[in-house]
């Protein structure tokens, strides 16, 4: 059985769910060892799936020196291991892993890139260095959307890359899981939900500003679900906007499917979004999704998304009114079929396995 080492940086949301789903599926065909940051949820899920893992000191925010030290640490850990392939998740993990196998002097690798290049002069300088190391060390790069791939501007390295969309777990396609909001619009309270990391790039402040325009609409409730560095700021912003009692902040939901089934509309107001596994999971359950028109979101939602211009909370509020007025006619079954055709987990796993085969057979 082929031995594969997986390395992931600190992650949450869709990236972490993608990692867990992928390893659960691959574990039946490959002998896996996952090298992960200290993350209770990730550890628990991998343990339940029977995937061997080791916790490593991966810093949430690192410097080139801390990444180099971690690369050296991993090269020592991997010295006596006979891995056929390394799979790095996230460009920072790809940098660390690439430094490790370069120091080790052997190892074929692939990397999944989940994000756009960073902004800012120093970040761009760091990224340019990281990109050179990664493209020189990995046999293949997997991008989670065409938008992310294009942003990397690979040039002559383009042939050794592909787009593989994040896959939705099969249980989201069960007939009992399909939910239409036909009751909404009567006496039922309509729930509009944001789910994800509470950070600036996710645009939760835009969501709250849009919510503030509905103070006189008692049948609409707004939910903010997640954790992150901006949580206190966002709770203060909600108070300043007069949203006490109109917006409810909830912690991370372990049963995402059950929670999605309980809401009426999902909003993704991101300033930057590589793909969004959440978007396609919501569509799979027949939930309309309102999203900013950025990054890989148009690829994820196709003709079933309701888009608004970046940063425009008034346009988002208009979309909420538009979608709320036709919940009963949203084409839930067609949306589910779109997701089942384009983003099933089985398709993603098959494509990853094809990349593995080519990488292992590569003479480079």
Express each pLDDT in 247-305 by its tens digit: 999 998 889 999 999 999 999 999 999 999 999 999 999 999 999 999 999 999 999 99
Taking the C-alpha atoms of residue 359 and residue 354, their distance in angstroms, rounded to an integer, is 9
CB 184 within 8 A of CB 287: no
Nearest C-alpha neighbor of 138 from the set 160, 122, 105, 159 = 160
Average predicted confidence (pLDDT) for the chain: 93
What residues have CB less than 8 Å from 233, skipping those under 6 apart?
none
Phi-psi region of 204 (alpha: psi -120 to 50; beta: other; left: phi over 0): alpha
Is the model's pLDDT at 161 over the cut of 70? yes
Any bridge partners for residue 161, and if so which? 141
Task: Note the CATH number of domain 170-342.
Answer: 3.40.50.2000
Mean pLDDT score, 67-88: 96
Q: So where are the chain's domains? A: 3-167+344-361, 170-342
pLDDT in tens, 10-46: 998 899 999 999 999 999 999 999 999 999 999 999 9
Q: What's the pTM value of the predicted model, to 2 decimals?
A: 0.93
Using an 8 Å Cβ cutoff, are 222 and 192 in contact? Answer: yes
Quote the percentage of the chain above a pLDDT of 70: 96
Query: How many C-beta atoms surround the C-beta of residue 271 within 10 A?
Result: 16
Would you say the CATH fold of 170-342 matches that of 3-167+344-361? yes
Can you tell me the mean pLDDT for 137-144? 97
Assign 199 to helix, strand or coil: coil
Confidence of residue 7 (pLDDT cuts 50, 70, 90): very high
- Which of 153-157, 239-243, 261-265, 346-350 shows the lowest mean pLDDT across its residues? 153-157
Alpha carbons within 13 A on the beta-carbon side of 189: 12
Query: In whole angstroms, what is the distance from residue 46 CA to residue 55 CA?
Result: 12
- pLDDT of 186 strictly over 60: no
Confidence grade of residue 187 (pLDDT, cut at 50, 70, 90): low
Token pair in block for residue 1: 């059985």
Q: How far apart are CA 85 and CA 361, in angstroms?
A: 10
Which residues, other chains included, contact 70 with Cβ-Cβ below 8 Å and sequence gap of 6+?
56, 57, 58, 59, 62, 96, 100
Least confident of 20-29, 73-82, 142-151, 246-255: 246-255
Report pLDDT digits (tens) over 230-239: 999 999 999 9
Task: Note the pLDDT of residue 182.
Answer: 42
Domain 3-167+344-361, classified CATH 3.90.480.20, yes or no:
no
Is pLDDT above 70 for 323? yes
What residues have CB less than 8 Å from 112, skipping those under 6 apart? 87, 88, 89, 90, 141, 142, 143, 144, 164
80, with CB counted inside 10 A (0-12, 13-18, 19+), is exposed
Long-range contacts of 54-60 (CB under 8 A, 24+ apart): 58/9, 58/10, 58/93, 58/96, 59/10, 60/10
């Amino acid at each position: 059985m082929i031995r594969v080492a997986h390395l992931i940086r600190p992650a949450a949301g869709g990236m972490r769910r993608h990692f867990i789903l992928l390893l659960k599926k691959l574990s039946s065909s490959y002998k896996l060892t996952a090298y992960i940051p200290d993350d209770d949820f990730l550890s628990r899920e991998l343990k339940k799936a029977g995937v061997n893992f080791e916790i490593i000191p991966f810093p949430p925010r690192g410097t080139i020196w801390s990444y180099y030290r971690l690369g050296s640490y991993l090269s020592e850990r991997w010295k006596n291991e006979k891995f056929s392939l390394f799979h790095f998740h996230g460009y920072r993990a790809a940098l660390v892993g690439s430094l490790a196998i370069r120091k080790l002097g052997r190892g074929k690798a692939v990397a999944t890139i989940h994000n756009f290049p960073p902004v800012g002069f120093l970040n761009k300088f760091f990224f340019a260095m990281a990109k050179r190391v990664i493209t020189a060390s990995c046999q293949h790069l997997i991008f989670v959307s065409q938008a992310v791939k294009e942003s990397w501007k690979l040039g002559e390295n383009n042939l050794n890359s592909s787009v593989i969309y994040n896959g939705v777990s099969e249980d989201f396609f069960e007939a009992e899981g399909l939910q239409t909001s036909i009751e909404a619009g009567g006496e039922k309270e309509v729930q509009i939900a944001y789910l994800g990391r509470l950070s600036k790039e996710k645009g939760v402040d835009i969501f709250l500003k849009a919510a503030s325009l509905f103070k006189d609409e008692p049948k609409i409730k707004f939910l903010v679900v997640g954790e992150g560095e901006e949580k206190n700021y966002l709770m203060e912003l909600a108070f300043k906007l007069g949203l006490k009692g109109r917006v409810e902040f909830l912690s991370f939901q372990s049963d995402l499917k059950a929670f999605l089934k309980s809401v009426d509309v999902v909003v993704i107001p991101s300033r930057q979004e590589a793909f969004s596994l959440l978007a396609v999971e919501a569509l799979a359950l027949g939930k309309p999704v309102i999203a900013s028109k950025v990054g890989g979101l148009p690829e994820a939602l196709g003709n079933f998304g309701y888009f608004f211009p970046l940063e425009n909370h008034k346009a988002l509020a208009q979309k909420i009114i538009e979608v709320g007025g036709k919940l009963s006619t949203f084409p839930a079954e067609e949306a589910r079929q779109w997701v089942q055709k384009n983003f099933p987990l089985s398709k993603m796993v098959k494509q990853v396995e094809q990349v593995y085969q080519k990488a292992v057979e590569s003479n480079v």
